[in-house]
Structure formats: C-alpha cells, structure tokens
Structure 1
C-alpha cells in the first residue's frame, strides 16, 4: 500500500513534466515563427524603402532634365517672339 501513493505521485509528476516540456516546446516554436515572420517583414520593408529611394532619385534626375529642357524651350520661345515682333 505504501508504494501505491508514491506511484500516483510519481506518475502525476511525470505527466506534469511531460506537459510542461510540450508546452514550452510549443511556446518556443511559436516564438521562433513570430521572430522569423518579423524578420521577413523587416526585410520586405527594407527592400521597399530601397526601391522607393531609387525611384525617388530617378524621378529627381528626370525632373532636372525636364527643367533644363523647359528652360531651353523658353529661351527658344523668347527668341521666336522677338523675331515675330521684328517681323511685324
């Protein structure tokens, strides 16, 4: 009879240990997956930021080129206007 209580307590302790190990393992797997998802999201945001920066630089270059062309067109229009005034 004395061994019966000890067996029950030992069995309960073993189940608690197994449940604890399984719970901690599941918790750690979940934490690892969350961390990997967070890193993937950060990588995606970094890629997006780099693409936006490159696009912004390209847009700035294009605007600079357009401004130069527009200044050239305005200068030519000014000379055309002067020629037309002289012709009148």
Structure 2
C-alpha cells in the first residue's frame, strides 16, 4: 500500500530527500505523499526510507491505497520505465 503522512508531521524535512521515487513533497501545512509514486521503496530498499528516518513516526500505510508487494513492484517498474 502507499504510505501517507499524518498531521503529526513536524515538517522536519528529513523524509523528502530520502524518497527514491520523488513521491514526497511539501503540502500546504505538512508534507504529502503522492500515492501514484509511492512504492514503499519496493524495488529500491528493503524498507520505506521515509519511515526509517521519520523522528515522530507519522508515516503509516494509507488505507485508501492498499496494494500488494507485487502491485508495488509493478508500479516501481512502470516508474523506472518512464524515467
């Protein structure tokens, strides 16, 4: 499943540069994750890098974008093909 950033985000700026798919960007009030680009780092790393660096643990799975590992892998491959 894609990840999401909750309103507990403190805008510390550590997650955005860690995302290999450029899925994280600054929103109006907190950082946001584009579910069309988030693969939970499948294809790049063994664990989501944004979750690993988040100091306030505010990046859970997004229940509105549930995906299997296979679906995330296919999304990763599509993103890589697009360049």
- Shorter-chain TM-score above 0.5: no
Structure whose CA Rg is larger:
1
Task: Indicate the structure with greater strand content.
Answer: 2
Task: Indicate the structure with greater helix content.
Answer: 1
Give the structure-2-normalised TM-score.
0.19
Give the structure-1-normalised TM-score.
0.18
Q: Which has the higher contact order (CA 8 A, sep 6+)?
A: 2
